[in-house]
Amino acid sequence: MPRGRYSLHDPHDRTPLGEEHFQCAPGPSGWRYVSRTTTPSGVDAGSLDLALDELGRPVRLELHAFDWQIRGAAIDGVTWVRTDPTGIDAREGNAPAHAFTGTSPAFLVATARLLRLAPGAPATRVRLVAFTDPVLAPLTVDQSWALINSEAHTTDNGLLTVDEYQVSALDTGEQHAVHIAGDVVLAAPGIELEDLESPPSTFR
């Protein structure tokens, strides 16, 4: 069960945004990731509990950012309920999308798991609902994912396969690289793996 810490920063000017402390593990019915985030000063900023089924679809999403909350799942596309800080105004949303995304590295692993791309295969288009900080406003985004390289590296714990994805935003054409090993993001824009207590899990 990987457990560790990511540092988060603005991908454009590298302003520190905080840290995400996480643990994750595959199970008999899919994969689960839980985390808590803190601000650069160490104040609690939110949490995430994401569960995927064996096909990589989100069967449960519980996302908190300060006092805002999202609960969602893959139902008729994706469906969610967004609750404001007062706890009084809860609004349901739905979109013809494949999954969710956001600032957490967990969403990159989840999208890669959903797509299950082969090296050298044509890029695949995916529609996601992004929840943007700090108020978790929903935004539908279209991306293109391609697995451009998969390379095995020798480590003290055996071979570690690192997948390099090219992710493109279809509305702007902006491209960036995402490096994932098993269920851990090694590097991506705005994300750095600072500490990992055990090796990444390998999906079957």
Q: CA-CA distances (angstroms) from residue 19 to 7, 25, 134?
A: 4, 20, 15
Distance CA 99, CA 64 (A): 17
**Tens-digit pLDDT profile for residues 17-44:** 999 999 999 977 899 999 999 999 999 9
For 79-95, the DSSP string reads EEEEE-TTSS-EEEEEE
Check residue 204 and give its pLDDT.
Answer: 61
Share of the chain above pLDDT 70, in %: 99
**pLDDT greater than 90 at residue 190:** yes
Per-residue pLDDT, averaged over 90-113, amounts to: 97
Instruction: Name the more confident of 156 and 185.
Output: 185
Mean per-residue pLDDT over the chain, rounded: 94
Q: What is the model's pLDDT at position 28?
A: 75
By mean pLDDT, which of 63-77, 120-134, 148-162, 163-177 is the weakest? 148-162
What mean pLDDT is predicted for residues 122-137?
A: 95
* C-alpha dist (Å) from residue 18 to 65, 71, 90, 104: 13, 23, 27, 11
Mean pLDDT of 77-95: 94
What percent of the chain stands above pLDDT 90?
Answer: 83
The string of pLDDT tens digits covering residues 156-165 is 767 789 999 9
**pLDDT exceeds 90 at position 68:** yes
Report the range of poorest mean pLDDT among 83-87, 101-105, 136-140, 180-184.
83-87
Predicted TM-score of the model (pTM) = 0.95
